[in-house]
Amino acid sequence: DENGIGIDTNPESTVLGVASDTVSVANGLHALMTQGGVRIDKAAVDDTPGVQPSLSLVTSHNSNSPGPELDLRRISTTPAANDTLGRLNFIGRNSAGEDHLYAQINTKIRTATNGDEDGSIAFRASRQGTAINFLEFDMDGGSPGNGEVCINTGGLDVDFRVLGDDTTHLIHADA
């Protein structure tokens, strides 16, 4: 609703509209709006395999339009190179019961100049407890129109391998 977080109680979809700080509960789903963002979780977490996801984005359009879509939008009055646009963190527990960042997808503005906008996306994974870039698509190669795809951007001792339909080492580079 316009005064807070509205939750559609239809089990097929959950729709959120945020206007102010509030807490709503429907069908075991908690939604909390804070100055830092929105937190959505289930009242009781069930780790059983096959349990429904905590958040689903669903569209029921009967057309060729894309959907569902998720926009991660950064609105800044002073956009600049290397501003982080959005980040997806994949966090799980380690053997000590502590939260650990196991993987991450990070996006940045590389060039914010109107008409010459460039961006990058980096994929990180944890290796021996530290998140390391292992794949990056960077569209800013020093001048507009240049770019690169870089594998093993963390510079670790990581082999590169491409599999074929009947071979495990169609292309192989031993680091």
- 67-71, 89-93, 141-145 — which is least confidently predicted? 141-145
pTM here is 0.68
pLDDT of residue 122: 93
pLDDT of residue 126: 93
Angle at the Cα of 126 (from 158 to 150), degrees rounded to 5? 50
Please give the share of the chain, as a percent, with pLDDT higher than 90: 30
pLDDT classification of 8: cutoffs 50, 70, 90: very low
Gap between the Cα atoms of 134 and 168, Å rounded: 20
pLDDT of residue 156: 85
pLDDT classification of 7: cutoffs 50, 70, 90: very low
Torsion of CA 10, 37, 48, 68, to 10 degrees: 50
Gap between the Cα atoms of 4 and 14, Å rounded: 15
Mean per-residue pLDDT for 15-29? 49
pLDDT of residue 175: 80
| Residue 95, both tokens | 């053997």
Burial class (CB in 10 A: 0-12, 13-18, 19+), 74: exposed
What are the pLDDT digits (tens) for 95-129? 999 999 999 999 999 989 999 899 999 999 999 99
pLDDT of residue 84: 94
Mean per-residue pLDDT for 136-144? 71
Gap between the Cα atoms of 75 and 114, Å rounded: 15
Mean per-residue pLDDT for 21-30? 53
The mean predicted confidence, pLDDT, of the chain is 76
pLDDT of residue 85: 94
